Chains A and B, each alone.
Chain A
């Protein structure tokens, strides 16, 4: 499988401003453990803009986990809140709003199915 994590972040940065993240401001550091290797990602959010970098920077929140978990999270096959409750994902410097906001960035299992939305007013009426 291609690097799901890198792919996700490229996508997130390319998507442009995200109104659903308007209230989040700060930097999250992701510590992705891969055997003995530790990969770090820095995600900064400001007024809905998402910037991703591999360059060291001070972080407000640190999220830690193993690579397979992050891959599942970033492809919509795992849920961040459940992983946190299991202790599989850990958070340091927990800003309570952050997990909810972070979760908004993550895809959901059936997102692909989202079809052209029905619009009220055009549906069949008796």
Chain B
């Protein structure tokens, strides 16, 4: 991997080290062994006879295991090493490291091999914000093993370090006296076990211990079970495979899901259940891995809000934003147990439930989650309409540690007027109205067809029609023909032009008569960079091509925009966006980052990665999957799958085989016929 940082993971347990396999973390540096939002190792340094080792190469064998090839020496000049060292590390319930030393000399050697171990037991939030610890540390040496511990009142976490061969342990690590015969070898297995607590809560957060062989079989099954992609363009095949593997890596089995998986949001900061991210990723993956959606719906349903709690911004029916397990959450210094401050996950929950049923025909789940879906729909009207004006808006009640921006563009300056001013709160952003509209339309279908409640269905349809009518009147920026980013407290338009317009197409809230103008903007020069649609249009007061939500291009955002374009019949434009993002994926070896720069494609020639973007990130990983769906024009209709391909010419022939769904398994074929300009951005939309 790039930057000399090696990551391996299993669920929310992950190891980040340097290229030697060593960990020397500082409070602000996200290296170490992490599990359930706690750093269990912040120091892990291997020396031979007091000397550090130099990396020759790193083999990323799989997302859960890595092999480091090392030699002793200073590394400044090449030395013909007489020793080689191999560290083979596998993550799972902590990690195991097979340490092997080979003697290439004709002489016998005696070595002192030492592994230094230490832990600061930092909460991920402390690493992010560089905060000080409040508890006490201890070390225990027993036989050949070392126990590192941390306690604060009843809160306890510990790390056990041991080896399969004889070691002498002290409070800072393990030492081995090794004698190597000429051309001989020596090996030991180091084991690091994360122990959440000495108490009975082990059952809650003790990660399952899985062997590398189990994980390998699991990954093989996961890949074999996914639809197969055949295509003339090799890079697309490798992007597809990368997406599937990364999605496997990002699977997370939350304690409430009974061992089943849902997508966590991203490595390293976001290996946990997020309402919004888990839902969007599940939507993207539906034609490929529908089971992720089922777990997401169940787990988020389990934790659906059921009371009013200002600290957690919880309301009855609200779907959670983020769940965390670390010390700061435990002591309520952070509200993530779970935190509910998010205005889109709740309507999107209903959207996912309906879309899931359309694909899978799993009516049982829709019946099982009837209470949750009704409560979510009720939240939209009873708790999200903060201003009593019939629009969803947000304003945090936890003013200290709650989230100010509760939409997907959650940075402080993402929602602005054309002149760059920021509106006050509450804010009713436009895409929230789209999601609410879609939730009502889809909720009506579920009510009528599955819950057999015509009255609710009719009520929801009436509300949806009314919302659509008002929205197209109140959010429409007349002079330039697009939808404003938001309405402010006074009901005035927050009138900057942003990519949110594409999400509105996806939701179906846009009047047919207005769609053409919206599409003209999405593919026009202010928004379309040549790679994709920028979060904020060039020319707006706050536009910055490397501003997090004010000018960068987000692959996830674009995948939903492409879906929206297809929904309104703009096939060529959807293909144009898909082609841009899939081209960009090639530059990132198939792994799209969270965001990349909104520079013009003709100027930079390659997509410029956003500096601190998190990678792999679930909804970026899901983007190529959703783009494949939109390219092939896959739409479930009753027991059939409609295939209506519109592919860029240079994709050539494309086959997606064994697409799972209520139809069993089905194949989809397409041939590239849409001319897409890869060098120039489009000056105007095709229609």
Report A's interface with B, CB cutoff 8 A: 19-20, 22-23, 64, 76, 79, 81-82, 84-88, 90-94, 96-97, 99-101, 103-104, 106-111, 113-114, 117-121, 123-126
Determine whether B330 belongs to the interface, using a CB cutoff of 8 Å to chain A.
yes
Which residues of B sit under 8 angstroms from A100, Cβ to Cβ? 256, 302-303
Q: B179-214 toward A: CB 8 Å interface, digit per residue (1/0)? A: 000000000000000000101110111000000000
CB atoms of B474 and A126 under 8 A apart: yes
Which residues of B sit under 8 angstroms from A124, Cβ to Cβ? 388-389
Complex Cα gap A84–B311 (Å): 18
- 17 CB-based A-B contacts, threshold 8 Å: A76-B307, A81-B337, A86-B153, A87-B155, A87-B330, A94-B255, A96-B204, A96-B257, A100-B302, A100-B303, A111-B308, A114-B316, A118-B385, A119-B381, A119-B382, A120-B390, A125-B390
CB atoms of B155 and A86 under 8 A apart: yes
CB atoms of B329 and A82 under 8 A apart: yes
Measured CB to CB, the closest approach of chain B to A65, in angstroms, equals 10
CB atoms of B330 and A86 under 8 A apart: yes
Checking A23, A86, A92, A108 against B314 with a beta-carbon cut-off of 8 angstroms, the contacting residue is A108
Complex Cα gap A81–B204 (Å): 11
Known: A81-B338, A110-B309. 18 other contacts (CB 8 A): A20-B371, A64-B200, A79-B312, A79-B337, A82-B332, A85-B330, A87-B199, A88-B153, A90-B200, A91-B203, A93-B203, A94-B255, A99-B255, A109-B308, A110-B307, A117-B383, A118-B382, A126-B474
Which residues of B sit under 8 angstroms from A64, Cβ to Cβ? 200
Measured CB to CB, the closest approach of chain B to A113, in angstroms, equals 6
CB atoms of A88 and B337 under 8 A apart: no
| B309-343, CB < 8 A from A | 309-312, 314, 316, 325-326, 329-332, 337-338
Measured CB to CB, the closest approach of chain B to A47, in angstroms, equals 12
Which residues of B sit under 8 angstroms from A93, Cβ to Cβ? 203
Query: Given that A84-B204, A117-B382, A119-B381 are known contacts, is A96 also in contact with B256, CB under 8 Å in the complex?
Result: yes
Measured CB to CB, the closest approach of chain A to B278, in angstroms, equals 16
Checking A22, A90, A108, A114 against B371 with a beta-carbon cut-off of 8 angstroms, the contacting residue is A22
Q: B195-236 toward A: CB 8 Å interface, digit per residue (1/0)? A: 001011101110000000000000000000000000000000
Measured CB to CB, the closest approach of chain B to A36, in angstroms, equals 19
Query: Given that A82-B329, A126-B491 are known contacts, is A99 also in contact with B197, CB under 8 Å in the complex?
Result: no
User: How many interface residues does chain B have, given as a range?
Assistant: 35 or more
Complex Cα gap A83–B426 (Å): 32
* A-B complex: 9 closest residue pairs judged by Cβ atoms: A108-B307, A120-B381, A85-B330, A94-B203, A87-B154, A108-B309, A100-B302, A110-B308, A81-B337
Which residues of B sit under 8 angstroms from A108, Cβ to Cβ? 306-309, 314
Complex Cα gap A88–B314 (Å): 23
Checking B204, B329, B371 against A91 with a beta-carbon cut-off of 8 angstroms, the contacting residue is B204
CB atoms of B256 and A99 under 8 A apart: yes
Measured CB to CB, the closest approach of chain B to A73, in angstroms, equals 12
Residue of A nearest to B36 (CB): A85
Residue of A nearest to B326 (CB): A85
Complex Cα gap A92–B204 (Å): 9
CB atoms of A82 and B385 under 8 A apart: no
Determine whether B463 belongs to the interface, using a CB cutoff of 8 Å to chain A.
yes
Complex Cα gap A87–B155 (Å): 5
CB atoms of B470 and A120 under 8 A apart: no
Checking B332, B380, B385, B466 against A79 with a beta-carbon cut-off of 8 angstroms, the contacting residue is B332
Complex Cα gap A97–B311 (Å): 23
Which residues of A sit under 8 angstroms from B310, Cβ to Cβ? 109-110
Checking A96, A104, A109 against B311 with a beta-carbon cut-off of 8 angstroms, the contacting residue is A109
Determine whether B258 belongs to the interface, using a CB cutoff of 8 Å to chain A.
yes
Which residues of B sit under 8 angstroms from A114, Cβ to Cβ? 308, 316
Checking B255, B312, B338, B390 against A123 with a beta-carbon cut-off of 8 angstroms, the contacting residue is B390
Residue of B nearest to A103 (CB): B306
Complex Cα gap A119–B258 (Å): 37
Q: B410-446 toward A: CB 8 Å interface, digit per residue (1/0)? A: 0000000000000000000000000000000000000
Most buried by B among A19, A86, A91, A123: A86
